[in-house]
Amino acid sequence: MSFVKFLGIGSAVPEKILSNLDLEKMIDTSDEWILSRTGIAERRIVEPEVATSDLAYEASIKALEDASMDPEDIDGIVVGTITPDYIFPSTACVLQSLLGANNAFAFDVLAGCSGFIYALHVAKGLIQGGGSKNLLVVGAETVSKIMNYEDRTTCILFGDGAGAAVITTSDTPGILSSCLGANGDGGEFLYMPAGGSRMPTSEETLKNGSHFLRMEGKEVFKEAVKALQSSTLEAIKLADITPDDIDLLIPHQANYRIIEAVRKRLKLPEEKVFSNLDRYGNTSSASVPIALDEAVKSSRLKRGDIVVFSAFGAGFTWGASVVRWQ
Ligand code: ACO
């Protein structure tokens, strides 16, 4: 069986900044409350005419350039997103058309904030199964489009962005392990009630805001801490390494208190945990690949290092992956 490695990485965030001070003018909150409870100072928000595929396109072009590849070299595109351009066709198909990736199959993965880790796991399997060589794996979101900016318990948390990676076959191990998990019983704690077959969009759903994201923050928080800790430990065990071998942990950027709980459980020093939460908030599926791109560009992650990704999201879903960075 062949190994799989990362060949290129890229990310894109909108220019427009929504700061805590801006939010103070919109809802009953304060910069101090948001910073101390979440670690978030600002987030990026797209303009109304920008869709998820537009950010995915920008990030993908950068990842392809980084990999020295043309869109035609890509065999398949897997996009993790909870904010697709449409319910159908998939955002991956929209992206395939934008890129002119004429030799690629394309599909979306819907796994909440674990979308990129799920997409990576699936793409790795497709390569190791022998059917594919070069795959584009993307996490892209415009969470602002499903946000109720009158709900202070959710709108302070999320932002928009995209990250993309080209992965390919390798003679030496790159992705050392990955594992996924889910617990559908947690679905009611983080979801968007309307717009699907259970509750199609109607005048009523628009009136009561059922097409916005809803979350029971406390329930999500507890489960996030547990699942991030256990899945990270599972991926480490599968890769046959110990926490001491980790050079950098890139956790899902949801809340610094969640990240701290995972860091302490793994007994990692602060400098071994990457965070850009203060600048982007929670960008859902895009959070891990944006952080990965920044870690590489800022030389926090170097060739030969062991990096661990872990994520948790709506579903509930979770997943982790250990990679030797090449
Ligand atoms: N500003 C000021 N006060 C607020 C705000 C706000 N923005 N939001 C809530 N409060 C108030 C509450 O009303 C409450 O007031 P009360 O005591 O009078 O009732 C008080 O602050 C405390 O609220 P809590 O909900 O207990 O605050 P907590 O410390 O739990 O923090 C938070 C809330 C930040 C949402 C936290 O629960 C959290 O981060 N949860 C996880 C969220 C998450 O990561 N979600 C994404 C997962 S991934 C995905 O797939 C999308």
Distance between CA atoms of residues 67 and 60, nearest Å = 10
Give per-residue pLDDT as tens, 204-258: 999 999 999 999 999 999 999 999 999 999 999 999 999 999 999 999 999 999 9
Those residues with Cβ within 8 angstroms of residue 270's Cβ, 6 or more apart along the chain or in another chain: 263
Determine which residue's CA is closest to atom 14 belonging to ligand 1: 153
Residue 311 near ligand 1, beta carbon < 6 Å:
no
pLDDT of residue 47: 98
Closest CA to 51 of 87, 92, 80, 83: 83
Query: Mind telling me the catalytic residues?
Result: 113, 252, 282
pLDDT of residue 2: 83
Residue 288 near ligand 1, beta carbon < 6 Å:
no
Give per-residue pLDDT as tens, 160-210: 999 999 999 999 999 999 999 999 999 999 999 999 999 999 999 999 999
pLDDT of residue 1: 62
Q: Which two tokens stand for residue 59?
A: 């990030």
Widest CA span in the chain: 57
For the beta carbon of residue 109, count every other beta carbon within 10 angstroms. 25
Distance between CA atoms of residues 222 and 312, nearest Å = 11
Give per-residue pLDDT as tens, 25-72: 999 999 999 999 999 999 999 999 999 999 999 999 999 999 999 999
The answer on pLDDT for 298 being more than 90 is yes
Q: Which two tokens stand for residue 291?
A: 């952080």
For the beta carbon of residue 86, count every other beta carbon within 10 angstroms. 12
Task: Give all domains of the chain, ordered by start, each with its CATH number.
Answer: 3-173 (3.40.47.10), 177-324 (3.40.47.10)
Q: How far is the CA of 86 from the centre of ligand 1 (A)?
A: 29
Q: How far is the CA of 56 from the centre of ligand 1 (A)?
A: 29
Task: Tell me the C-alpha to C-alpha distance, in Å, between residue 22 and each of 33, 42, 144, 158, 255.
Answer: 14, 9, 15, 14, 20
Distance between CA atoms of residues 80 and 62, nearest Å = 18
Q: Ligand 1 pocket: which of 19, 20, 34, 37 to mutate (most atoms <8 Å of CB)?
A: 37
What percent of the chain is predicted at pLDDT more than 90?
Answer: 98
Average pLDDT of the segment spanning 304-312: 98
Q: Are 136 and 63 in contact (CB under 8 A)?
A: yes
Q: Are 251 and 310 in contact (CB under 8 A)?
A: yes
Q: Ligand 1 pocket: which of 150, 221, 228, 252 to mutate (most atoms <8 Å of CB)?
A: 221
Q: Which two tokens stand for residue 165?
A: 């990676």
